[in-house]
Chain A
Amino acid sequence: MYKKIAFIGLFIIISAFSTSSVTSVENKYIKSGEELTFIASFKMSGIMTDIAEVKMTTSTVKTKTRELLRLKCTASTYSSWDSYFRVRDLYESYVNPETLIPSLFKRSIEEGTYKKHIKYLFKRRSKIAVSTLNKKGKKDFKTNVPIHYNTLDIVSTIYNIRTLNFDSFAIGKKVTKELIVDSQIETISVKYLGKESIRVGKYGTKECYKLSVGFYGKGLEKAKGGKYIWITADDDRLPALIKATIPIGTIQIRLSNFTK
């Protein structure tokens, strides 16, 4: 159950921000040095239980020929949960700082005794992503996945969504995004539901864009259900709150700290 919650929770925070599928974004909101901290909770019988801390940070990475933005996302269970079900997940996306299009994505999962490492190397010119999967330290399994110019990974999708101009969106506008999940191309949709003021922890009440997220494709079947996300309607575009309903309760991920 916790593995499912951890996956869905992470997936929602990571994938809930997708939109316009055709053109790449022009990034003016996401800069290096940003650090967002979230509290991931599970609501059962009307009572909220905090399970894990999710951190999303951005930093600059330099190679011999170019400069990229590293989008790092980690999920760690609180110490009280560690002896029952310890989670240490690491998601990284290395993207072009202007367009937020990824060149490399890495996902390293450690959930209880379950371990999995996956890597996508985006060869944009050849229009393929080389996927390397390693489960429990066994031999690497490599596959080539056909991609389009704007195919994203799960982490860059979040950041992509934050850069969209929601003010120009009509209420009810639905947009889709293509991303690679578990070595398969999947589609998610985001519906703009208008503005709503919500309480954002120590930052008080903030006006936010409310979005509804939908998932398509077999790989994302388990992430189906009512999922909403609130992004602050300011220049920071912070993902303030994420709510997802699953059969056994509700997952909530709320922003607790922000530095840039």
Chain B
Amino acid sequence: MNKLFAILGLIGAILGLIFSFLPISNLAIFPAIIGLVLGLIAYSAAKKQNIGFSFARIVVILSLLAIIISASKQLFFKNKVEEDIQFIEKTKKSEQDAVKELEELDELEDLE
């Protein structure tokens, strides 16, 4: 049973870690908390039975790491749009082209 908890906890911790490095890092909290809870259960059970608990400890550490990375990204990194010179130039050119197109349209409408 301990092993099952630890393995499921490890899956949660790994998923949490993967999510924490992606833009959807705030979703990492779900698998990471599951990993942490299962890891802690496995850890305390292994300790009580006096059997090896290093695997469970790794699960707890990885889960905590995922939670810390995810929380730090939420707290310290602000969403921003990178300045895109090409896009700015494109919008300017689009306006210049539009003026020409509108003038052509005015001429066409006058002729009709």
Q: Chain A residues in contact with chain B, CB under 8 A? A: 39, 44-45, 47-53, 61-66, 68, 70, 72, 74, 76-82, 84, 88, 90, 92, 94, 103-104, 106, 108, 119, 121-126
Closest beta carbon of chain A to B33's beta carbon, Å: 12
Q: A68-B102, A76-B87, A106-B94 are in contact. List 6 more A-B contacts (CB 8 A).
A: A49-B26, A61-B98, A63-B102, A90-B90, A94-B98, A108-B90
* Cα distance A45–B15 in the bound complex, in angstroms: 15
State whether A45 touches B27 (Cβ < 8 A): yes
Do A94 and B102 contact each other (CB < 8 Å), given the known contacts A78-B79, A88-B84, A125-B112?
yes
Q: Using an 8 Å CB-CB cutoff, how does the interface string of B18-62 with A read, 1 for contact, 0 for none?
A: 000011101101100000000000000000000000000000000
State whether A78 touches B98 (Cβ < 8 A): no
Find chain A residues with CB under 8 A from B30 CB: 45
State whether B99 touches A61 (Cβ < 8 A): yes
Of the candidates B23, B29, B30, the one having the most CB atoms from chain A within 10 angstroms of its own CB is B23
State whether B101 touches A53 (Cβ < 8 A): no
Find chain B residues with CB under 8 A from A108 CB: 90, 94
Find chain A residues with CB under 8 A from B80 CB: 78-79
Q: Is the interface of A mostly helix, strand, loop or mixed?
A: strand
Contact of A74 among B91, B101, B102 (CB under 8 A): B91
* Cα distance A73–B112 in the bound complex, in angstroms: 32
Find chain A residues with CB under 8 A from B95 CB: 61, 70, 92
Contact of B79 among A65, A80, A92, A125 (CB under 8 A): A80
Find chain A residues with CB under 8 A from B105 CB: 103-104, 121-123
A-B pairs with beta carbons under 8 Å apart, 21 shown:
A49-B24, A61-B98, A62-B99, A64-B106, A68-B102, A70-B95, A70-B98, A76-B87, A78-B23, A79-B81, A82-B82, A84-B22, A92-B98, A94-B102, A103-B102, A106-B94, A108-B90, A108-B94, A123-B105, A123-B108, A125-B112
A52 nearest CB neighbor, chain B only: B81
Find chain A residues with CB under 8 A from B87 CB: 74, 76, 88, 90
